[in-house]
Amino acid sequence: MHENITDETPVVRMVAITKHFPGVLANDQVNLTLRKGEVLALLGENGAGKSTLMNMLVGLYRPDSGEIYINGKLADIRSPQDSMALGVGMIHQEFMLVGNMSVAENIILGMKDLPFVPPLSEIKKKITDLSKRYGLQVYPDKIIQDLSVGEQQRVEILKLLYRGAEILILDEPTAVLTPGEARDLNEIIKKMLSEGKSAIFITHKMDEVMEFSHTVQVLRRGKSVNVCPTNSIKRVQDLANMMVGRDILFSLDRGPYNPGKIMLEAKNLVIQSLQGNKNVLDHVSFTIRGGEILGVAGVAGNGQQQLTEALTGLMHVSSGQVLINGEDYTNKTPLQVIRSGVSHIPADRGRMGVVGDMSVGDNLSMKKYRTNELSNHSIIKRSWVRLFADKLIETFVIKTPSQDTSVKFLSGGNIQKTILAREIDSCGGILIAVYPSRGLDVGATEAVRQNIIKQRDKGNAVLLVSEELEELLMVADKIAVMFEGRIMDIVDVKDAKTEELGMLMAGVERRDI
């Protein structure tokens, strides 16, 4: 996508934008220019100020100083409705959807030009037409909370397309997509560009920057440090260095593969759908030994979430067994599973991983409050919490003004680091990590993967769910591929081929590959 942009008209110009939060200078005199028909990749470490800058463009925040111009005119953007009226829409990293409403209801929610009783049949037809046109498989009547994370992402994209946005801001849009879906998104973006639209693409994936964008802008600690044409960048490593200011390892050191005894076992696990007409988890069996990482590959919505929730006591199993160190933990409570030594990094960090209104320190110590270390007859030892939190903040490089800051004010990547720090610290032998590096920059991703490998090298058993085959091939010892609730095959990483894994993910049987 490196063809020249012929129309030099800036559709967005942000001039000297500055934004403060308590204890944080999020953006410091940042300039940004987006031209018609252009994709601008906005790069930076977690907490560099990318999402804050874009949130001001869509009216969620107001800049402390600076000016925003849309199509050459000074814009006073006070709300997302103002930005949408100017043709600017954003797909956020954390989805802005109402869980108990349908796809169609979410897409039209807040639209002021609709009649009191919206013509739902016409709306659903338009949504279906759009989904077919752009290759986004979504059913208008489905309830949001019944959709996978990947399907919810498609709803967010459709919401903007439905509302006719001309300038699209995509914050980590491929974090929940498989490589094939990411390529489909590239085609969607190309189609939108051919219709005269423009896009700002926030991503941490270097390959996507090279493939999707025309221009790259790098933020570091709230300042803009570099703007250059994408085709002037020769190596992915140069991009990574530009972003974090140091060399990044694209391979990881790991000890020899020396598996021990079986620590986690699933035996013919079955979970029926709410309607009872099919199995969302279909006779799944595997073992994980100490000193072993089993990766789980698959397109979002193929049973990975149900599997991890069954293992951690969050979802009832219809039949089959969960064995932890040889003992039956089928349908035990989450607390019983935690006490058996299982740590869980969930897929939905905002809803299940943290309590947003609590401090960083309290979120880090959340799994310790039943221990004598943290409490004395229900009285919290605040001095111990502070020392404990400071240690984890330093070890996992969590960027926060202080441990007293509410965790909801951290960037998405630093929220993820908070969860990772808590779960790894409390791990008693088994770590279940679901998309642990989703939304993280290359430096933080490197650290997450190293920490997971450290758990394996300590003799712990690790289940790593990821949609990035590159990550699984780099970190895992074996890879189980899931499709429609079944395990298609389990392969040793040393024998794994990307093309074969991709076909298994698409439901092709091993004998047909």
pLDDT digits (tens, 9 = 90+) for 450-509: 889 999 999 999 999 987 788 899 999 999 999 989 999 999 999 988 878 888 887 888
Tell me, which fold does domain 1-87+166-176+195-248 have in CATH?
A: Rossmann fold (3.40.50)
pLDDT (0 to 100) of residue 4: 46
pLDDT (0 to 100) of residue 247: 56
Q: Give mean pLDDT, residues 207-231.
A: 89
Q: What percent of the chain has pLDDT over 90?
A: 48
Statement: the pTM of the whole predicted model exceeds 0.75: no
Is residue 34 within 8 A of residue 11, CB to CB? The reply is yes
Residue 512 pLDDT > 90: no
Distance, in Å, from the CA atom of 388 to the CA atom of 394, rounded to the nearest integer, reads: 10
pLDDT (0 to 100) of residue 372: 80
Stretch among 19-33, 114-128, 178-192, 256-270 having the lowest mean pLDDT: 178-192
Residue 29 pLDDT > 80: yes
pLDDT (0 to 100) of residue 304: 92
Contacts of 302 (CB under 8 A, 6+ apart): 482, 483, 484, 485, 505
Distance, in Å, from the CA atom of 276 to the CA atom of 119, rounded to the nearest integer, reads: 32
Stretch among 304-308, 320-324, 506-510 having the lowest mean pLDDT: 506-510
Q: Give mean pLDDT, residues 236-247.
A: 70
Q: Give mean pLDDT, residues 305-333.
A: 95
Half-sphere exposure of 225 (CA within 13 A, CB side): 18
pLDDT-based confidence at 238, cuts 50/70/90?
confident
Q: Give mean pLDDT, residues 339-365.
A: 90
pLDDT-based confidence at 17, cuts 50/70/90?
very high
Order of strands across the sheet with 327-328? 279-289, 262-272, 319-324, 327-328
pLDDT-based confidence at 442, cuts 50/70/90?
confident
Distance, in Å, from the CA atom of 326 to the CA atom of 185, rounded to the nearest integer, reads: 44
Q: What is the pLDDT of residues 75-89, one digit of tens each?
A: 999 998 899 899 999
Stretch among 106-120, 283-297, 326-340 having the lowest mean pLDDT: 106-120
Helix (H, G, I), strand (E, B) or coil at 294: strand
Distance, in Å, from the CA atom of 418 to the CA atom of 444, rounded to the nearest integer, reads: 12
Distance, in Å, from the CA atom of 501 to the CA atom of 73, rounded to the nearest integer, reads: 50
Is residue 1 within 8 A of residue 190, CB to CB? The reply is yes
Contacts of 340 (CB under 8 A, 6+ apart): 324, 325, 327, 329, 332, 428, 430
pLDDT (0 to 100) of residue 444: 77
Q: Residue 124: exposed, middle, or buried by beta-carbon count in 10 A (0-12, 13-18, 19+)?
A: middle
pLDDT (0 to 100) of residue 513: 58
pLDDT (0 to 100) of residue 422: 94
**Domain residue extents for the chain:** 1-87+166-176+195-248, 95-164, 293-302+310-315+333-512
Q: What is the pLDDT of residues 402-433, one digit of tens each?
A: 999 999 888 877 888 899 999 999 999 999 99
What is residue 493's DSSP assignment? G
Decide which of 3.40.1190.10, 1.20.140.70, 3.20.20.70, 3.40.50.300 is the CATH code for 293-302+310-315+333-512. 3.40.50.300
Do the domains spanning 1-87+166-176+195-248 and 293-302+310-315+333-512 agree at the CATH topology level? yes
Q: What is the pLDDT of residues 95-142, one digit of tens each?
A: 789 989 999 999 988 887 887 888 889 999 999 998 888 777 788 999
Nearest Cα neighbor of 462 from 340, 253, 270, 287 is: 287
Contacts of 213 (CB under 8 A, 6+ apart): 1, 39, 40, 41, 201, 230
Is residue 1 within 8 A of residue 229, CB to CB? The reply is no
Mean pLDDT for all residues in the chain:
87
pLDDT (0 to 100) of residue 1: 53
Distance, in Å, from the CA atom of 149 to the CA atom of 169, rounded to the nearest integer, reads: 19
pLDDT-based confidence at 394, cuts 50/70/90?
very high
pLDDT (0 to 100) of residue 95: 79
325-to-68, 261, 312 alpha-carbon distances in Å? 59, 8, 14
pLDDT (0 to 100) of residue 179: 62
404-to-146, 352, 383 alpha-carbon distances in Å? 35, 20, 13
Tell me which of 512 and 159 has the higher pLDDT: 159
Provide long-range contacts, Cβ within 8 A and 24+ apart, for 277-280: 279/318, 279/485, 280/306, 280/485
Nearest Cα neighbor of 157 from 169, 142, 148 is: 169
Q: What is the pLDDT of residues 273-286, one digit of tens each?
A: 877 678 889 999 99
pLDDT (0 to 100) of residue 245: 63
Q: Give mean pLDDT, residues 357-364.
A: 93
Q: Give mean pLDDT, residues 305-323.
A: 95
